[in-house]
Amino acid sequence: MNEQLVPIYVMGKKYDVPEGLTIMKAMEWIGYKYIRGCGCRGGFCGACSTVYRMPGDYKLQVGLACQTTITSSMYLTQIPSYPNPKAAYDLNKIENPAKAILEVFPEIAKCVGCGACVKACPQKLRPIDYVAAALRGDWEQTAEMSFDCIMCGLCASRCTGELVPYNIALFVRRYFSKVVRPKPEHLINRNRDIRNGQYDLAVKALAEKSAEELKKLYDQRQFEKI
């Protein structure tokens, strides 16, 4: 196959690489072996966040190296890690979440509403909005708006107020899911029965059946409808 080569600038150095590759595959094509900056290779882990600029364009762009196709003449740098220590807390001891959030993340009050985080998010989330929702005490909104966050750290790298927005979001999602949402009855009931050993005999009886008997039962299963 005749590959069309295009130039890219990796941390300033020019390489000609085949068109159509993702940034990650282009780096490997060049000859880099990743230790940092590569985790899942599928857009889930946030290890490969990348910033880049196109010549003649002042705008700083962001993407995931494993998901972003190279464009001719892009100038790129991966940011595999950003210093964002995480404050510890005990979710079981939170009585007043609005107060707790200010104690665990005092910097939250420093959000100036600049929106730099929005431009930095490869998942197209709006940390500015979920931080505001958290400050208002709207836990459900915060949780829903931040759900797709892969904790890549790019918003924190650009934040004027020096917040770590994704840690705030995680705290709120956990609080919301654990405390605000009720625990379903069907789960409580099933687990009470399991703890009482109610199913032990039935499962044991099934586990002791011959392979033939099991196969027969297997072929006779009635499927629930989609």
Partner 1 sequence: MSGYPVSMQETIKKLEQTRSSRLGQDVPRLSFEGREKLLKECHPDYRKDSIRQISIGPNKGQKLTNKLVDLLEAKSYLDPEKVNLEQVDFDVDVLVIGGGGAGVSAAMIAHEQGANVLLATKLRIGDSNTIMAEGGIAAATQPDDSLERHFLDTIGGGRFENKRDLVSVLVNDAPLIVEWLKDLGCMFDTHPNGDLVVSFAGGHHRKRVHSCKDLSGMEFMRVVRDELYNKGVPVSEFSPAVELLMDEQGNCAGAVLLNLETEEFSVVRAKSVILATGGIGRLHPNDFPTTNHYGATADGLIIAYRGGANLLHMDAIQFHPTGAMWPEQMLGQLITEACRGNGAHLVNKNGEHFINELETRDTVSSAILREVIDRGNGIKTPTGGEGVWLDTPLINIRGDEGKLDRMFAGIVHRFTEYGIDVRKEPIMVFPTQHYQNGGIEIDPEARTSIPGLFAAGECSGGVQGRNRLGGNSLLDIFVFGHRGATSAVNYISSAKVGKLTLQHVREYHRELDAAGIKNKMASPLLLPDYIRDEVKKRRYS
**Token pair listed for 153:** 């750290």
Q: How far is the CB of 123 from ligand FES (least distance, A)?
A: 10
Token pair 């990796």 is at which residue? 10
- Binding residue count for ligand FES, defined by CB under 6 A: 13
- Binding residue count for partner 1, defined by CB under 8 A: 72
Distances from the Cα of 112 to the Cαs of 87, 117, 172, in angstroms?
A: 21, 11, 20
159 binds ligand FES (CB under 6 A): no
> Which of the listed partners (ligand FES, partner 1, ligand SF4, none) does 64 bind, with a CB threshold of 5 to 8 Å by partner kind?
ligand FES
Q: In the complex with partner 1, which residue's Cβ is closer, 106 or 113?
A: 106
149 binds ligand FES (CB under 6 A): no
Task: Show contacts with partner 1 in window 77-136 (CB under 8 A).
Answer: 86, 88-91, 124
102 binds ligand FES (CB under 6 A): no
Task: Show contacts with ligand FES in window 63-92 (CB under 6 A).
Answer: 64-66
Residue 81 burial (C-beta neighbours within 10 Å; 0-12, 13-18, 19+): exposed
Cα–Cα dist 124/130, whole Å: 12
40 binds ligand FES (CB under 6 A): yes
Cα–Cα dist 189/137, whole Å: 32
Whether the CB-CB separation of 86 and 128 falls below 8 Å is answered with no
What are the residues binding ligand FES (CB under 6 A)?
Answer: 38-41, 43-48, 64-66
